[in-house]
Structure 1
Amino acid sequence: MNGAVALPLDLPELSLTASGDALVRRSVLPSGIRILSERVPGARSATIGFWVAVGSRDELGAVSAADVRDGAGAHGLAAAALPSRFGSTHFLEHLLFKGTPGRTALDIAVAFDEVGGEHNALTGKEYTCYYAKVQDRDLPMAVSVLADMFTSSVLDAAEFENERGVILEELAMADDDPNDVVGERLFEAVLGDHPLGRPIGGTNDTIRAVTRDAVWQHYLANYRPNDLVVTVAGAVDHDELVALVIAAVDGAGWELTKPARPVERRLGSSAPVTRGSALSITNRPNEQAVVMLGYPGLVATDDRRTTLSVLNSVFGGGMSSRLFQEIREKRGLAYSVYSYGAGYSDAGLFGMYAGCSPKNAAQVSELMLAEFDLLARDGISVGELARAKGQLSGSAALSLEDSDTRMSRLGRSEITTGEFADLDEGLRRLDAVTVDDVQQLAASLIAGSLSIAAVGALEASTFDRVVQS
């Protein structure tokens, strides 16, 4: 494989040999279903994911008939008057495990437990994935069960109300975790009214308010053949996989003979973002304060995303990073301190985090900001660049020992970037990053609007000097 390989939506078949002699194949069925596999030599297990490119950002608020045109709604659903669907994506992730006409919730759980498999789901801001990891011999079962869940969930009314309580408990658990709270507050502060600023799981109010009909409409609008992406990595034969998927969804009554183009990918260009707030304080009598500083970041398809990985590694990505050395090792002001980047189709976020004593929150915030300003002004050294490249190349290679990572890479490649880049291509891009690239990117990021989010025994005045800097 030489360079990244594009994944056109109108290309029926694609096959390539990736690094490590892994065989990657992709089929686009006439119905619009996309199936991707990566066969890994020597693997005895496989991880499978059923994906839909719909996440929390795609949920509709309350829509009146006057507000809806033909083609409105996620992926073009024509709608009449609709209640709010906020929280529907997370709700639906739970409900698909609650039974189909042919399987109860217990049947679904037993199917994986009795073979020692793992199964779960995740809701993101721009996609949802239902996945399982099993031995190679149990892959047909996994395809059958996940396809049944995906195509034929009944969304039973009694189960719906039961699960409402479960989700509220999940939100309560997250609300008790200051790390979860500060992360949500930072997204709201940086991205403002942009849909990506909303919490993935919904809120207590939206989960209490959403109706079964709203979730059902969300399901019908977005769980269709041309929305479905199936990815498998590990011990997998592609032709057998395609046959298994076709048989499973055909048995569910999906129309597979009617031609349909896969849903279009989101545009990979930056949307205007208006900062939600410069400072968001959640005052709680905790022993430790958690503080996050953030700027608008890069979109997921930005050519500088590899440069961002290097910047993040040097700045806050490990024990040798500047933040860790300055704040923890030299000054002993925090136990956990790091930076990260999150990129989506039309917006992103670059953030830094520290957990510290409330009395040190201002000093730690100033130090994080000062270190970022220093990086933006003076850049990084050749030694730091080499160390970052070593860290990133090693972690990338090690992560690919896991079929879960390979399965997720296939899904993100198909849904988000529209290209497949193997380890060799990733290393080539990494090798091309220069110290000037890193300095220029840091200068670009720090020129954006700074937002601060914090949870703890703090007052807004704690951050006066940071906000004014």
Structure 2
Amino acid sequence: MTSTTRPATDPTGPTEGLTGLVRRTVLPDGLRVVTEQMAGVRSASIGVWVNVGSADEDDVLHGCSHFLEHLLFKGTARRSALDISVALDEVGGEFNAFTAKEMTCFHARVLDVDLPLAVDVLGDMLTASLLEPADVDAERDVILDEIAMHDDDPDDVVHDLFAELAWGARTPLGRGIAGTVESIEALTRDQVERFYRTHYRPATTVVAVAGNVDHDAVVELVAAAFEGYGPGGAVEEPVSRLATGARVPVHAGRAHVERPFEQVNLVLGMEGLRRDHPDRFALGALTTALGGGTSSRLFQEVRERRGLAYSVYSFSSHHADSGLVGVGLGCLPERLDGALDVVRAELVKVAEGGLTEEELRRGRGQLRGGLVLGLEDSGSRMSRLGKAELVHERYLPVEEVLSRIESVDVHDVARVAAEVLRGEEILAVVGPGRA
């Protein structure tokens, strides 16, 4: 195995003590283990990050990643579903999982002395789940309920519609994560099991641990718990949708889905930046200053000065092969046109003139504060480690991120705003009336 120690960079100023000792080991089978040792905590957080999500599915397997995430909690040869739940509950641990477009994560947070238990349970789930036919059928109904619940949330619906307009309803990024009623009802146990054996393997998996931990001890625990992890038989190698390095195009579009909600929810946006783009820090400062808090330009113009909406915000999303930037808001139906006019006008102003020094200063401050305050527990540190290793294959110290944020100036923001905010418009609207 190979092992690398990544010590903290020399801290300066207010960032002192932000980064602990980060170490990385690659086991002989390719499984990566990354840890961060944190002083002064009694917790440990572990996440098993798998490089597969809804964007890796075709039409037939739509929703399979999320379905599989549920099924891995249903039991192994050593533990029933109840045993898995009890194991972490009886030590006061927190235990969950999530599926995204480009990754799936199983995570737990426990007292440091209970980390061996958490590693063993997660290893058991990922290496030896039974995927019993009865569990597949039972969990199918749970997921159909989850889809129905998701469909009742206007914010979820409008963001799904926005992605569908931007990338296309039949594309990996344009499809919803949970699948559709039709795709979930059609999935078979054999399809899910083959998906599991194809995508869940050492080379596609990262185990990230942060807290009061010793790296070498963690590596030993992971090596034991994940022994035999992998396909265990003849199965095709997963084919990455990113193999060609192609950029996924973003399309302009407009759609209104009528729903009997009290409010109209909308997302107005355009093509953004991919996750490895060098201007992503400037875009982050831009979107934060534009609509990231109560002092932001959009909040002041849309809500405070005109009272057109209760909630208004801006955002950017980054993927390996594409990105989006946008503004979301919720308002009464009769205020929709007025709110849209104001948002469009402010986007034009920023695209033509950028931000003021004061706006940028506030935006940078919000980014810095959000980053640092978000890293005060072991779970946040673990998430940062896991994502960095899985999607970037490089750990960026907190101090370096803060330095990059601080180096963004008004000229960088003006250039990025001119490039991005002049893009073709995508408008998704959900609620009563017509756009």
Q: Same fold, TM exceeding 0.5? A: yes
1:96 equivalent to 2:94? Answer no
How far apart are residue 418 of structure 1 and its match? 2.1
Q: Alpha-carbon deviation of 1:254?
A: 5.7
In the other structure, the counterpart of 2:222 is 245
Which residue of structure 1 aligns with residue 37 of structure 2? 39
Measure the CA separation in 2 of the matches of 1:446 and 1:226: 38
Q: Could you tell me how far apart the structure 1 residues matched to 2:146 and 2:171 are?
A: 24
User: 2:213 and 2:244 mapped to 1: Cα distance?
Assistant: 31
Q: Pick from 155, 163, 166 the counterpart of residue 190 of structure 1.
A: 166
* Percentage identity across paired residues of the two chains: 47
SS in 2 for 1:332: coil
**Aligned counterpart for 2:7 among listed residues 4, 12, 17:** 17
* Residue 187 of structure 2: aligned partner: 210
Alignment of 1:298 onto 2:273: yes
User: Deviation digits for residues 293-312 of structure 1, max 9, x if unmatched?
Assistant: 12111111111111111001
- Candidates 338, 358, 366, aligned match of 1:383: 358
Matches within 5 A, 1:253-264: none
> Structure 1 residue aligned with 2:380, among 405, 423, 428?
405
- Aligned AA (2:114): D
What secondary structure sits across from 1:396 in the alignment? helix
Letter in 2 for 1:455: V
Residue equivalent to 2:147 = 171
Aligned to 1:128: 104
For residues 270 and 89 of structure 1, what CA distance do their matches in structure 2 show? 23
Cα drift, residue 255 of structure 1: 9.3
CA contact (8 A) 1:97 1:108 kept: yes
Structure 1 residue 272: Cα displacement? 3.7
User: Retained in 1: the 8 A contact 2:205–2:390?
Assistant: no
| Equivalent pair of 1:269/1:345 in contact (CA under 8 Å) | no
Task: Say whether residues 1:145 and 2:121 are aligned partners.
Answer: yes
CA contact (8 A) 1:14 1:27 kept: yes
- After TM superposition, give the deviation of residue 22 of structure 1 in Å: 0.5
| Superimposed CA distance per residue, residues 50-86 of structure 1 (whole angstroms, 9 cap, x where no aligned partner) | 111100010133xxxxxxxxxxxxxxxxxxxxxx211
Aligned-partner Cα distance in 1 for 2:200–2:45: 21
Report the CA distance shift for 1:173/1:272 in structure 2 as closer, same or farther (over 3 A): closer
Contact 1:265 1:416 in 2 (8 A): no
Q: CA deviation at 1:274?
A: 4.5
Superposed CA deviations along residues 227-262 of structure 1, whole A, max 9, x for unmatched, are 221000111111000000111122x57699xxxx99
* Cα distance in 1 between the residues matched to 2:409 and 2:152: 42
In structure 1, what is the equivalent of residue 54 of structure 2?
A: 56
1:263 and 1:181 mapped to 2: Cα distance?
30
Task: Name the SS of the counterpart of 1:420 in structure 2.
Answer: coil
Do the aligned partners of 2:298 and 2:313 also contact (CA within 8 Å) in 1?
yes
Q: Does 1:113 align with 2:89?
A: yes
The 3 A distance-change label for structure 1 pair 268 and 403 is farther
Q: In structure 2, what is the Cα distance between the partners aligned to 1:60 and 1:363?
A: 40
Partner residue of 1:421 out of 371, 396, 401: 396
**Is the 8 Å Cα contact of residues 38 and 232 (structure 1) preserved in structure 2?**
yes
Partner of 1:7: none
Deviation at 1:288, TM superposition (A): 0.7
Q: SS of the counterpart of 1:43? A: coil
Question: 1:31·1:255 contact (CA, 8 Å) conserved in 2?
Answer: no
TM-score using structure 1 length: 0.87
**Distance of aligned partners of 1:160 and 1:241 in 2 relative to their CA distance in 1, 3 Å threshold:** same
Amino acid at match of 1:230: V
Asked if 2 retains the 8 angstrom alpha-carbon contact of 1:190 and 1:294, the reply is: no
Do 1:226 and 1:262's aligned partners in 2 also have CA atoms closer than 8 Å?
no
Q: Contact 2:202–2:229 at 8 Å: present in 1 too?
A: no
The answer for unaligned runs of 5 or more in structure 1 is: 1-10, 62-83, 463-469
Which residue does 1:73 correspond to in 2?
Answer: none
- How many residue pairs get matched? 422
1:285 Cα offset (Å): 2.2
Q: Quick one: structure 1 residues 184 and 96, their matched pair in 2 at CA, closer, same or farther if it must change by over 3 Å? A: same
Q: Deviations over 1:95-119 (max 9, x none)?
A: 0000011100000000011011011
Task: Tell me the residue number matched to 2:14.
Answer: none
Q: What does residue 406 of structure 2 align with?
A: 431
CA distance in 1, matches of 2:246, 2:284: 19
Could you tell me how far apart the structure 1 residues matched to 2:126 and 2:261 are? Answer: 42
Contact 1:292 1:352 in 2 (8 A): yes
- State which of 197, 211, 214 in structure 2 corresponds to 1:220: 197
Shift of 1:27: 0.3
1:16 is matched by which residue type in structure 2? R
State whether residues 162 and 426 of structure 2, in contact with CA within 8 Å, keep that contact through their aligned partners in structure 1.
yes
Query: Take 2:300 and 2:246, find their aligned partners in 1: how far apart are those partners?
Result: 33
Q: How has the CA–CA distance of structure 1 residues 270 and 442 changed in structure 2, closer, same or farther, with 3 Å as cutoff?
A: farther
Partner of 1:231 in structure 2? Answer: 208
Give the Å deviation of 1:267: 6.7
What residue identity is the alignment partner of 2:366?
Q
Equivalent position amino acid for 1:374 in 2: K
Structure 2: runs of 5 or more not aligned: 12-16
**How far off its partner does 1:264 sit?**
8.5
CA contact (8 A) 1:32 1:262 kept: no
Alpha-carbon separation, structure 2, partners of 1:401 and 1:264:
35
